[in-house]
Structure 1
Amino acid sequence: LGTVYSQSFISFIERVNMEAAGVVRINLLGGPEALPTAEQANAVRSGIVDMIYGPSSYYPGDVPETDAFVGGNVPPAELRENGGMALLNEIHQQKLNAYLLSHPEGSLGFHIYLTQLPVLDAAGLPNLDGLRVRGAQLYREFFMGLGATYVSIKVPEVYTALERGTVAGIGWPSVGLMDLSWDNFLTHRIDPHYFQGDIVILVNLDRWNAMDEIARNTLRELGLAHEQRSYAVFTDLGLEEDAEMQRRGIEVVTLSDAAAKKYRRQAYETAWARLKSRDDTHYEALRRLFYREE
């Protein structure tokens, strides 16, 4: 629970318990050590736990539509206005028996970090041929499209993999890398970022419906406030960590405008193609609400 992400969730819990005292109370059970990440979505579905916090990309088999988060570039505030969040909430209720309460840290982007200077091809895009790059499943197709060999390694094992040279790079959000000391081995970061943060707070739907209207409204308001607050906090944190990362010696390789546009488009399209192949029922609606051409 020592990461900047866990601390953000803890701050939400503390605010709920303070501002909604006597109406709603959240008891934190722990993180992956208490309930393995892969089991958390099923736990909230079945009511083993009432609430979870984490990336929606951890349960793509249950709700493939969560690719709209990473494949989107529309900020959370606008998704609240245009109906995007409402649609994804409805889908969560149908498929996961969960209420989508909040989409915090929505200002996050993702970067490729390497242990060496990346080679750029004739179009100015990164050529990662021959490089083993660690990432989450949601990066797989994007990394392979750049020529990399995609490697799946659990987060606690990444430090050793970098230390031993087992991997030559990683995909990671714009915040939190230094908390894990991976900057001891990484030397370059590719800009711009790709994808958008997909962290969510879910509530078991049966538990949600069992709450009275006052409790639901209170929690809904505090969830929205946290979504807005964390967006601003992580925007500032990203700028601070960028400066510190460069101070520590990580060089930023910034793609040309034309290459950057193609790079980001290539990333987005992998997410939308994956969603369409898994379940295209809401593909057109989600793409229209979550993504705008750049």
Structure 2
Amino acid sequence: MKRRDFLTSASVGAAASTIAMPAIAQTAPEIRWRLQSAFPKTLDTVYTAGEAFSKYVAEATDGKFQIQVFAAGEIVGSFQTLDAVTNNTVEMSHTVSSYFVGKDPTFALGAIIPFGMNTRQMNAWLYEGGGNELLNEFYSKYNVFALPASSTGTQMGGWFRKEIKTVADLQGLKMRIAGLAGEVMTKLGVVPQQIPAGEIYPALERGTIDAAEWVGPYDDEKLGLQKVAPFYYYPGWWEGGTTHHYFINKAKWDELPKAYKTIIQSASESTNLKTQAKYDARNPGALRRLVGSGAQLRPYSQDIMDAAFKASNELYDSLSTSNADFKKVYDSYRAFRNEEYLWFQVAEFAFDNFMIRARSKT
């Protein structure tokens, strides 16, 4: 090829590339959404999942898809996030579906139920066991499409102003506890209260409530609950592996280009993984500090665990009889959980049990 012909061909090719780029860019529309978090900024591990999600989406779309994150209460409160998404007050939220069991107990199955699955098992059900598809079939009744957003791992069993040894000790206690766990606690004699994170400390300090559960050592330390309720119980049998979700207005989700949907799904998987990693990395040190500052660790007695387990299963049987949506999702959930524990009993539990006993030797 002659030099002149080569330069001409190269020029045409460069021009074609220059012309094609704007055409490609036009397939990626500029979108502005608002994300209402159910969490305050002080709870940096879980709140920042929303910010990490927003950053991921913006960078993956060269800034064309911007999602502004608002802390709890900046647009609506923690317990109004579902309605805000349903009504398109905001396009999406980062929330806990069990906050909305007052609307339908099926919402609890998207987050956690008492004596449910741990985080790994829950993720397996959601991603590979058909769980998220079943949930979205239910959520669609509220104009919502949901994706797993973050995980906490097994939570602690709450802070009490006095020591609790038997079911009788629970009688009449006022406790901040959400979701179906509140209904189970009612069967054990507790008076459940639903209170946002920022109001837990003053309620305990004033004696308005006698006990409160939140998350685990890292988040609980930030709330300073050990100063007003020294007895710290474990395990949080009502939250063996809590999942938070991004609730997205379904009409807005359906409008998105396929590429944007893929980016959102990838971003949600990233924040779900990394939030759990943050909790696992930060909880050990926080637990040491809490005990060092006066928290008194106590395991729930076998009496309380057995009574709570019995009450939980009675509740699920009752709900399955009266609520077709709950039964459909719970039947899948329960079958998957039981199979998972068959496997975890063989390998995971045996290994973890040995390593816990051997820890002092390393």
TM bucket, shorter chain: 0.7 to 0.9
1:81 Cα deviation from its structure 2 partner: 1.0
Q: Residue 189 of structure 1 aligns to a residue in which SS?
A: strand
Q: Residue 190 of structure 1 aligns to a residue in which SS?
A: strand
Match of 1:231 among 276, 288, 301: 276
Q: Residue 226 of structure 1 aligns to a residue in which SS?
A: helix
- Residue 211 (str. 1) matches residue 256 (str. 2): yes
> TM-score of the superposition, structure 2-length normalised?
0.70
* Matching residue's letter, 2:330: L
* Matching residue's letter, 1:135: I
- Map 1:142-291; keep pairs closer than 5 Å: 142-174=184-216, 175-196=218-239, 197-255=242-300, 258-259=302-303, 262=306, 265-266=309-310, 268-269=312-313, 272-273=316-317, 275-276=319-320, 279-289=323-333
Unaligned residue ranges in structure 1 (runs of 5+): none
Task: Specify the alignment match of 1:3 in structure 2.
Answer: 43
Q: Which has a greater percent of helix? A: 2
| Matched-pair contact (CA < 8 Å) for 2:175–2:211 | yes
Aligned mates of 1:157, 1:261 — CA distance in 2:
28
Q: Residue 28 of structure 1 aligns to a residue in which SS?
A: strand
Aligned mates of 2:308, 2:262 — CA distance in 1:
37
| Matched-pair contact (CA < 8 Å) for 1:134–1:171 | yes
Aligned mates of 2:285, 2:304 — CA distance in 1:
23
User: What is the aligned length?
Assistant: 288
1:212 Cα deviation from its structure 2 partner: 0.6
1:266 Cα deviation from its structure 2 partner: 4.2
- Residue 98 (str. 1) matches residue 144 (str. 2): yes
Percentage identity across paired residues of the two chains: 19
1:254 Cα deviation from its structure 2 partner: 1.6
- Map 1:26-65; keep pairs closer than 5 Å: 26-65=67-106
Aligned mates of 1:64, 1:21 — CA distance in 2:
40
1:50 Cα deviation from its structure 2 partner: 0.9
* Matching residue's letter, 1:81: E
Q: Residue 86 of structure 2 aligns to a residue in which SS?
A: helix
Work out which of the two has the higher radius of gyration on C-alpha atoms and give 1 or 2: 2
> TM-score of the superposition, structure 1-length normalised?
0.84
1:237 Cα deviation from its structure 2 partner: 3.0
Query: RMSD between aligned alpha carbons?
Result: 2.8
Aligned mates of 1:130, 1:103 — CA distance in 2:
36
Task: State the Cα deviation string for residues 168-221 of structure 1 (Å, max 9, x = none).
Answer: 211222252222222211111222222232421111111111111111111111
1:33 Cα deviation from its structure 2 partner: 2.7
